[in-house]
Structure 1
Amino acid sequence: MPPIADILFFVALLVAAGAVAGLLAGVFGIGGGAVLVPVFYQVFGYAGIPEEVIMHLAVGTSTALIVPTSIRSFQAHRKRGAVDMDLLKGWMIAVPLGALAATVVAAYVSSAGLRLFFAVMGLVLAARMLFLSNRMHLGTELPGQPARFLTGSAIGLFSGLMGVGGGVFNNTFMTLYGRPIHQAVATSSGVGVLISIPAFFGFIYAGWGEAGLPPFSTGYVNWIAFAVIFPIAMLVTPYGAQLAHRLNKRQLELGFAVFLLFVSARFFWSLYGG
């Protein structure tokens, strides 16, 4: 068993991650999963959880936490009237369908495969934030069907595989078609709700009865990690929504891009560095 000081250190790390994830849920509408997944990966690895299930557990637990944080973020943004409800209503089937497909894929993909996907997508998203933010536009109106349905399904699929709330993908989609960043962020919180609820149940089903899971786990969701982070994330998420309407978005994008580069490098090192 690890020394008590190490246990307390990792609990403190989870607490800090919960605060950051909650703020990011409000600021970017991303659900905080991009922060939580790598933190869970480190903590679960230290706890001696088998390599075969560690990344699945990190993604599944992150998805469980996105459910309440995205709902709370959505409520805060909707009160401000910033959410594109028409887009969300049009994605009521497409986005959850993609999220459920992600849990099916995850059930057959190795832990290394999930890490590789997270690392590659992290690089792609970081590059977009660093070099293409607000500089590339594909039009002034969102595409019609079936392109919009396929886009929603892809957002649900990619987000589900990464354990994120879909904000980074939806923000990109909406801003490419000329929508204001604040509207994109607010709408992304609703996309997080559409992704996280079906993915949450999907990861429970996919991991049901899996060998090597730690105590207090239901499928690929660990309730100890959930219990540590949940109250903190719920407390700070509304403050993130307030900050989204005040802070310099470019500075926030750059900071998040650097974080994604660090996480991608960490996962690439775990795969090929030794």
Structure 2
Amino acid sequence: MTIWWLAYIALGAFAGFFAGLLGIGGGSLMVPVLVMLFTAQAFPVGEVMHLALGTSMATIFFTSISSVRAHHAHGAVLWPIVLRITPGIIAGTLIGTHVASLVPTKALALIFTLFICYVSVQMIINLKPQPHRELPGALATGAVGAGIGFISCLVAIGGGVLSVPFMTWCNVKMQNAIGTSAAIGFPIALGGALGYIWNGWSVSGLPSGSMGFVYLPAMVGVAAVSVLTAPIGARLTHQLPVKTLKRVFAGILLALAGKMMWGLFSAP
């Protein structure tokens, strides 16, 4: 068991740092690694993807608290936007977790991998939408939030790869978009974690230590370290070559997603 705790701690350190640095929530890295770790521990093959998604969302809940505190200290969080988009976020996450609980593991893995390909291409070409307009009204912003929450729960991310481009398109400065995205990650993770716990509560055969689709030992190991490394990443956002790091990180994501897909689809 000790080796698994060490693996969770190492994952937490790496995911937390990049969550703070890039405002991505860390789920895009955590999910494929957790799938591989859970598979190695002989968890039910049909539920490893659900467990990885649920555990990742629960971990992002703690990471987002640490990350948003660091961004708030730098004055980068636009709280009026957070308050406006949160109701839609919560609704979208609850719907998204219910849908995810009904989708088979291999299909979820395919959805996740396709999304990672989108995220990676976005990072590699450093795509930045040009500002065209101001933020829409409360109803439209809530609808956008519902879409972000829904997709985020299907792929267990903090929503940064969706909310940052949206806010940038609406004339929000990049620094504020990243900081605000970190704050938006909190309701995404809260709604997502609760949804995965609820929808997995009555599922039989889950490993000991599970609370619904959240595997508590992994959550504790990853979260305990990620909350320490996320603020470090947030502080270094304007000091490190983020553009280069994004491209390296994108390559890592593609390799991990590919390895995860191979492992799941090659299994009997």
User: TM-score when scaled to structure 1?
Assistant: 0.90
2:55 alignment counterpart: 61
1:86 to 80, 84, 87: 80
Cα deviation 1:1-22 (Å, max 9, x = unaligned): xxxxxx5544332221100111
Answering whether residue 64 of structure 2 is matched by residue 48 of structure 1, we say no
How far is 1:146 from its partner?
4.5
Contact 1:160 1:199 in 2 (8 A): yes
Q: 2:123 aligns with which of 129, 134, 159?
A: 129
Q: Deviations over 1:139-182 (max 9, x none)?
A: 14234454432221111111111111111211222233443322
Query: For 2:8 and 2:115, how far apart are their aligned partners in 1?
Result: 24
| C-alpha distance 142-253 of structure 1, shift in aligned 2 (>3 A) | farther
Report matched runs for 1:1-274 at 5 Å.
8-134=2-128, 136-137=129-130, 139-144=132-137, 146-270=139-263
Contact 2:22–2:242 (8 Å) recurs in 1:
no
Deviation of the 1:224 alpha carbon: 1.0
Answer yes or no: is the 8 Å Cα contact 1:74–1:186 preserved in 2.
yes
1:56-106 residue CA offsets vs partner (Å, 9 max, x unmatched): 001101111111110111122112111121211111211111111111101
Q: CA deviation at 1:266?
A: 2.4
Q: Gaps spanning 5+ residues in structure 1: where?
A: 1-6
Say whether the 8 Å CA contact 1:120–1:264 is kept in structure 2: no
Q: Once the two structures are aligned, what percentage of the paired residues are identical?
A: 34
Give the 3 Å change call, closer, same or farther, for CA 110–233 of structure 1 in structure 2.
Answer: same
CA RMSD of aligned residues (A): 1.9
Are the equivalent residues in 2 in contact too, given 1:27–1:185 (CA < 8 A)?
A: no
Deviation per CA, 1:25-71: give whole Å up to 9, x if none. Answer: 21122221111111110111011111111100011011111111101
How many residue pairs end up in the alignment? 267
Work out the CA distance in 2 between the residues paired with 1:179 and 1:24. Answer: 22
Structure 1 window deviating more from structure 2 (47-56 vs 170-179): it is: 170-179
How far did residue 124 of structure 1 move? 1.0
Equivalent residues of 1:66, 1:196 under 8 A apart: yes
